[in-house]
Amino acid sequence: MFVRSLVLVVGSVVAAAAFVPGVATRYLDATSGKASEEARIEKASVPAGQDAARYTGNRSAVISADANGHFSGLFSINGRKEEGLIDTGASMIALNVTTAQRLGIDKADLNFRYAVETANGKARAAYVRLDKVEIGPVKVVNVGAMVMDDKALSGTLIGMSFLKGLASYKVEDGRMHLTR
């Protein structure tokens, strides 16, 4: 049953990649590069007076779209900060190996047995469970994710495995509202 569900998830990712080719790749290529980790963290921070995410009460976060219409923010994954792009076309959270290791996932424990199609072509992926994924007061626990080689994915995609754990999410007036 699990394998059938996972094949369905991977098939959804492939279908999304066919209909929206290059959207995530263009974003991830623009945010990657050969910068050091310090530069990556600096890029994730927001200049004073320009909130990328607002927290409303103890149940919601609001993320403003960037100039390209993408919603990204600084998430806490397994207790560590990570810039992530929200991708409603991705069935699951997608991480590369370097990010997974930074989040405390041992590469030796990864089993790259799933074949996936991405906007960058075919890749092998390993299934993992993340303890928790948070942005502000919005927290989802026990979230499924796929880990791919660094060449297949240059950043972090926050997919439906996170969004389905919320009470609601919606886009309105250039803002994504996440409510737990």
Domain parsing of the chain, residue ranges: 2-179
> Which pLDDT band holds residue 57 (cuts at 50, 70, 90)?
low
Taking only the tens place, the pLDDT of each residue in 65-105 is 999 999 999 999 999 999 999 999 899 999 999 999 999 99
User: Taking residues 12-30, what's their average pLDDT?
Assistant: 46
Residue 107 has pLDDT above 50, yes or no: yes
Q: pTM for this structure?
A: 0.70
Note the pLDDT of residue 97.
97
Is the confidence at residue 135, as pLDDT, over 80?
yes
Top-confidence residue, 57 or 179: 179
Dump the DSSP string for 123-146: EEEEEEEEEEEEETTEEEEEEEEE
For 137-175, the pLDDT digits (tens) are 999 999 999 999 999 999 999 999 999 999 999 999 999
CA angle centred on 41, ends 40 and 46, rounded to 5°: 110
CATH topology assigned to domain 2-179: Cathepsin D, subunit A; domain 1 (2.40.70)
Residue whose C-alpha is closest to residue 158's, from 180, 178, 137: 178
**pLDDT(8) > 50:** no
